[in-house]
Amino acid sequence: MPKPKADRAARFRIFAALWALLIFALSSIPGAAFPPSQVLSQDKLIHAAVYAVLGALLFLALHRRWSHKTSVLVLIAGATATLYGFTDEFHQMFVPGRFADLRDVLADGVGGFLGALVASTAVAARAGSGPAGPSTK
């Protein structure tokens, strides 16, 4: 019988993969299909928020699977989210009415790293330790 921690790691990997598929599906929508909207004018914030979720899910999947230092896992999760953002922008070059924008990749990377960092802080808080180490409660 698999360990519960391994089961949770698999769940977070599945969530991360499903979130990445959702990003891919949304970026496959032709540009003309989006109605004019105030929300869509905040493009970089939307990119950062969407990739923050991906970064957090990637961190949680890695954290439950590997025993590396937290900073290494944050780096891996953030870099993976950024790389996925880069490939997604490349993909958009082939979608009618869409185009690749390196500033979107930058927003994706910032979001991915922030999401991983927030997830690592939440994990540390739940475990009773902060960034400086175990709490002295």
| Tens of pLDDT, residues 17-47 | 999 999 999 999 998 776 776 655 688 999 9
Instruction: Please check whether residue 12 lies inside any domain of the structure.
Output: yes
Instruction: Please check whether residue 89 lies inside any domain of the structure.
Output: yes
The tokens describing 112, both together, are 């991915």
For residue 127, pLDDT over 70 is answered with yes
Q: How far is CA 106 from CA 45, 98, 126, in A?
A: 11, 17, 30
For residue 65, pLDDT over 90 is answered with no
- Residue 6: pLDDT band with limits 50, 70, 90: low
The tokens describing 106, both together, are 């930058």
109: containing domain: 4-21+40-126
Instruction: Please check whether residue 49 lies inside any domain of the structure.
Output: yes
Instruction: Please check whether residue 34 lies inside any domain of the structure.
Output: no
Instruction: Please check whether residue 26 lies inside any domain of the structure.
Output: no
Mapped to the 3 state alphabet, what secondary structure does 33-99 carry? HCCCCCHHHCHHHHHHHHHHHHHHHHHHHHHHHCCCCHHHHHHHHHHHHHHHHHHHHHHHCCCCCCC
Instruction: Please check whether residue 133 lies inside any domain of the structure.
Output: no
Total tally of structural domains belonging to the chain: 1
**Is the separation of the CB atoms in 88 and 108 below 8 Å?**
yes
Instruction: Please check whether residue 56 lies inside any domain of the structure.
Output: yes
For residue 4, pLDDT over 90 is answered with no
Q: Could you report how far apart the first and last alpha carbons of the chain are, in Å?
A: 35
Instruction: Please check whether residue 111 lies inside any domain of the structure.
Output: yes
% residues pLDDT > 90 (the chain): 66
